[in-house]
Amino acid sequence: MKEPVTILGAGCTGPLLAALLARRGFPVRIFERRPDLRSGTHGAGRSINLALAARGLAALERAGFMEAIRPLLVPMRGRIVHDLEGNTRFLAYGQRPHELLWSVPRLGLNRVLTDAAEDRGVEFHFEHAARRANFATGRIEIEDLATSRRFEVAMSPVIGADGSGSTLRASMVEAGRGTAREEPLEHLYKELTIPARRDGTHALASGALHIWPRGGYMLIALPNVDGTFTATLFLAATGGPISFAALGSRKAVLAFFARQFADVTPLIPDLAEQFELNPTGRMSTIYAAPWQVGGQALLVGDAAHAIVPFHGQGMNCAFEDCRVLDDLVAAGLGWAEAFARFDALRREDTAAIARMAVENYTEMRDTVRDPLFALQKELSLELERRQPSRFIPRYSMVMFHDEIAYAEAERRGALQSVLLEEATRGCRELDEIDLGKLEARVIERLSPVSSPAVRG
């Protein structure tokens, strides 16, 4: 199994997977259509900041990269919710020291991973685009974009980490080797930068993810180590006065922000210019099946199962893919068996996180404003303190417990939601709830987690 491995795509997933395979003794080459991002030639405004959580951390630890990445990280212990009047409320993500997220800029992380993979002997071929895969001949056509020269390389095997617009996935569909369906979100996004203060400090509290929830839309902001925030507006594409279609002029943009995000608007002096110049991005969920063709080809990350970004799990899920595949390779399986096992192991979990990501958009832009949400959050933490092996908030299972599969988190979360709804019906304060009786129901309805010991 020591034949060369070809990986398509040098985003964050490709270099991490390449480094793991190189550590196993495989020669690995990566083809990437874009220029080397380390040269500074990259597009701006298309990078929703990443929230690194337990699943991503586990894969980076496996690869031995955490020390190199740590300087990029800013801890976020919860959400700071901003209302229309500028009032704020802090909602902690969890209650243990390790239950926090780490904000990390995509480009910075990508640079570190590329350097680290290169140090392990991975060959990078930038400005080389994969055009099509021929499964009958076992060859992939590559175009050198600098010279327009086209050539072929052997699959033997090829792994598509080439994102939601995957060429390898398209070739599989074209050849009748699979199906794919894209489910676009009707909302788009626009990235903005909140600059640091003159003294280099953050203009907002840096230890949290900031949210301005407004019902059908929202603004979020994640801190960076250089004192800036990466802010992202999520808004309907069309459909009336509150949509991207209605923000066609600088005047309209400034008026909209003054009405809806008055406390953040003064922090972005060039708001209108950024809004005009930065691209508007789209988001989709990708459903593909299968993800593999014998021992020839495999899809991972967004190429296999792109999800919307509202649970902060796109990158974490892709990095977990890398760890799972590394486990299968370490077990000594042939590529055909490893790829088939990977498809079987990951399919239910990735479908679960895709659903939960869409649900979390509603929570972030709307539900989080409801006092009942805050009460149920408080009750969840109290139940977790009383029954830590049985009741773990769904958000915590997804973000902080990589030993609990996504599908298990979704299943247990649904049971827990029923308990919370029953217990809080007609209540406004925690002391109105009979916690002893509720704890008995938790013990009756929820078995202990079917995983290694709960951390912390």
Q: Are residues 290 and 435 in the same domain?
A: no
Q: Are residues 350 and 427 in the same domain?
A: no
Q: Are residues 288 and 412 in the same domain?
A: no
pLDDT tens string 82-99: 999 999 999 899 999 999
Amino acid at 301: G
Domain boundary among 335, 360, 385: 360
Separation of first and last alpha carbons in the chain: 40
Burial class (CB in 10 A: 0-12, 13-18, 19+), 421: exposed
Using the predicted structure, report yes or no on whether residue 299 has a pLDDT greater than 60.
yes
Range of the domain at 341: 5-44+53-62+106-182+284-360
Structural domain count of the chain: 2
Q: Are residues 423 and 310 in the same domain?
A: no
Q: Are residues 432 and 386 in the same domain?
A: yes
Domain boundary among 360, 383, 412: 360
Q: Are residues 434 and 310 in the same domain?
A: no
Domain assignment of residue 327, yes or no: yes
Does the predicted model carry a pTM greater than 0.85? yes
Burial 288-303 (b: 16+ CB within 10 A, else e): bebbbbebbbbbbbbb
Give yes or no for a contact between 208 and 93, defined as CB atoms under 8 angstroms apart: no
> What confidence score (pLDDT) does residue 43 get?
54
Domain boundary among 311, 330, 360: 360
Q: Are residues 381 and 321 in the same domain?
A: no
pLDDT tens string 25-59: 999 999 999 999 998 755 554 556 799 999 999 99
> What confidence score (pLDDT) does residue 367 get?
79
Half-sphere exposure of 154 (CA within 13 A, CB side): 7
Q: Given the structure tokens 């390898």, which residue do they identify? A: 168
Domain assignment of residue 139, yes or no: yes
Using the predicted structure, report yes or no on whether residue 1 has a pLDDT greater than 60.
no
